[in-house]
């Protein structure tokens, strides 16, 4: 137990003294969000696109850290990430979230990658857990319904990979050029499971429970 406590202390120290300060002090941009890229020499690329997955991961991380440690600066960073998802990545016309926006926050790659939408659900649920902000829970539920309505395969089960902005089929559903162009992947299913679990933790609806068990 002593070794466990020491290791846990080392991890917490790394998080509070290195990882969180890096993102707080170096990666917050002047547009209310976070820079999308830094090169291997530590130089920022200010005009790099902002990715939906990175923003959702930051939302989860800052929300979880704020819930655990209560640092106001971390809480403000979580709020910043939440506002980015709500105001820039959420598609007000068709629902779902964009894959990326440009440095000014305008839609860039507008396809609906369910992997990314699931990450947004995960981050929003954790933000609600940390702050009790009902806007975050409402948006998480909307995105959950979008996944269920457009990604779930009613005939064969499971979840499809991606769609166009208006939920129409697209030929290339890959996350990146290195991935196979498969209709369904374990990667997307794992992250939908992760997002739904986070949502069920704070919402506990029967519909979300059924989706998890199916």
pLDDT tens per residue across span 150-202? 999 999 999 999 999 999 999 999 999 999 999 999 999 999 999 999 999 99
pLDDT at 66 over 90: yes
pLDDT of residue 4: 86
DSSP helix/strand/coil, 97: strand
Q: Strands (DSSP E) along 68-187, which ranges?
A: 100-101, 107-109, 112-113, 162-163
Strand partners, 163: 112
Terminal-residue alpha carbon distance, the chain: 38
pTM for this model (two decimals): 0.95
> Which of 80-103 are b and which e, b meaning 16 or more Cβ less than 10 Å from the residue's Cβ?
bbbebbbebbbeeeebbbbbbbbb
pLDDT at 1 over 80: no
**Which range marks the domain in which residue 168 is found?**
2-213
Q: Residue range 124-130: average pLDDT?
A: 98
pLDDT of residue 205: 86
Mean pLDDT of the chain: 96
pLDDT at 28 over 80: yes
- With DSSP H G I counted as helix, E B as strand and the rest as coil, what are the percentages for the chain, rounded to 5? 55, 10, 35
CATH of the domain at 193: 1.50.10.10
Angstrom distance (rounded) from CA 68 to CA 186:
30
pLDDT of residue 47: 96
**Spatial CB neighbours of 64, under 8 Å, sequence gap ≥ 6:** 126, 130
Number of domains in the chain: 1
């Amino acid at each position: 137990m002593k070794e466990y406590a020491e290791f846990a202390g080392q991890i917490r120290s790394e998080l509070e003294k290195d990882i969180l300060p890096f993102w707080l002090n170096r990666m917050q941009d002047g547009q209310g969000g976070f820079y999308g890229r830094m090169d291997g020499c530590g130089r920022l690329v200010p005009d790099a696109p902002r990715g939906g997955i990175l923003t959702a991961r930051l939302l989860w991380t800052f929300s979880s850290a704020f819930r655990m440690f209560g640092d106001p600066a971390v809480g403000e960073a979580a709020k910043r990430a939440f506002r980015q998802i709500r105001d820039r990545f959420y598609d007000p016309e068709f629902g779902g979230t964009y894959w990326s926006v440009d440095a000014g926050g305008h839609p860039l790659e507008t396809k609906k990658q369910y992997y990314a939408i699931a990450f947004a659900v995960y981050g929003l649920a954790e933000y609600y857990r940390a702050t009790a902000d009902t806007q975050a829970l409402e948006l998480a539920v909307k995105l959950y319904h979008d996944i269920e309505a457009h990604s779930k395969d009613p005939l064969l089960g499971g979840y499809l990979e991606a769609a166009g902005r208006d939920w129409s089929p697209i030929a290339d559903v890959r996350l990146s050029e290195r991935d196979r162009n498969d209709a369904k992947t374990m990667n997307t299913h794992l992250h939908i499971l992760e997002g739904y679990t986070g949502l069920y933790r704070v919402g506990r609806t029967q519909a979300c429970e059924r989706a998890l068990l199916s």
